[in-house]
Amino acid sequence: MNTASTEKDRYVVIGNPIAHSKSPLIHAAFAAQTGQQMDYQHLLAPLDGFAASVNAFRAQGGLGANVTVPFKLEACALATRLTPRAAAAGAVNTLQFSDTQILGDNTDGIGLVTDIVRNAGVTLHGKRILLLGAGGAARGAVLPLLEQLPAELVIANRTVARARELQQLATARMPAVPVSAYGIEAVPGHFDVVINATSASLQDAVPALPAGALDARTLAYDMMYGTQPTAFLRFAAQHGAQCRDGLGMLVEQAAEAFALWRGVRPDTAGVLQQLRAGLQSAAG
């Protein structure tokens, strides 16, 4: 590592694989914008060596880390203190190190909500929301979604039992908001917002939603993003829905982590525009 970088506060994004992550680009832009002296790099951790990698980085003076697939559950277990939203999610994507503790946070859900409410201009208060999936991505989204006080949150998963487990956790956290659980093919009625937190987009597949679940009145949101619309967003567009991918969520969750670490909140609009232009250029 060069001398200039050692003079800066050090952060990393940890995962396996990790070279594809745009987090260093995002945090470099945030640091330049806010005048923060930061060095932010990729850190590839062995699949059986996450804790060792974190502890070594911390021992070398690292101040914090973002955590991505497949280590978010291990990061939760490694943290000595959790924020309420991390405890609710049971998963951690942001670590902050001090002399005495490792703070674990989960900024994914608030990043999602911020992108929907502020960037897309869609209110969630009083709306009927369908959350597809019951894995780590969905767990991270539940509490921030419920804090917006929707009229109802419906959790749908291929395995209904997992949806019911998440429903019970959600109800315990926010009993004032009705939460129900279904299999994806059995969800009832129309939704104002449909959020895809499943891994179906990685296989270019579409969750088996019934007809009428979404239409031109619906915001269809996929947590995934790419150079082309996902299969879920293509399906939603065929039904006239307003479509949005997860690029804004990526930027907003990063901004939340940056604010935790540095005590200053960056402006995300220019960074999101830069990343979007990069995706469009890559798409040709």
| 127 is annotated as an active-site residue | no
Burial class of residue 34 in the structure, from the number of CB atoms within 10 Å of its CB (0-12 exposed, 13-18 middle, 19+ buried): middle
Residue 8 assigned as binding residue: no
Residue 67 assigned as binding residue: no
Residue 106 assigned as binding residue: no
Instruction: Give kind and range of the element (H or E) at residue 255.
Output: helix 247-262
Which is catalytic among the residues 72, 85, 139, 244? 72
Residue 108 assigned as binding residue: yes
Residue 208 assigned as binding residue: no
Q: Which two tokens stand for residue 273?
A: 């525009």
Residue 87 assigned as binding residue: no
Residue 217 assigned as binding residue: no
Distance CA 216, CA 67 (A): 36
Residue 255 assigned as binding residue: no
Q: What share of the chain is helix, strand, coil (3-state, %, to 5)?
A: 45, 20, 40
Distance CA 104, CA 67 (A): 10
Query: 152, 171, 161: which is closest to 134 by C-alpha?
Result: 161
3-class state of residue 198 by DSSP: coil
Residue 40 assigned as binding residue: no
Binding residue ranges: 21-23, 68, 93, 108, 133-137, 157-162, 223, 225, 246, 253
Annotated binding-site positions for shikimate:
21-23, 68, 93, 108, 225, 253
**Catalytic residue annotation:** 72
Which segments are annotated as binding site for NADP(+)?
133-137, 157-162, 223, 246
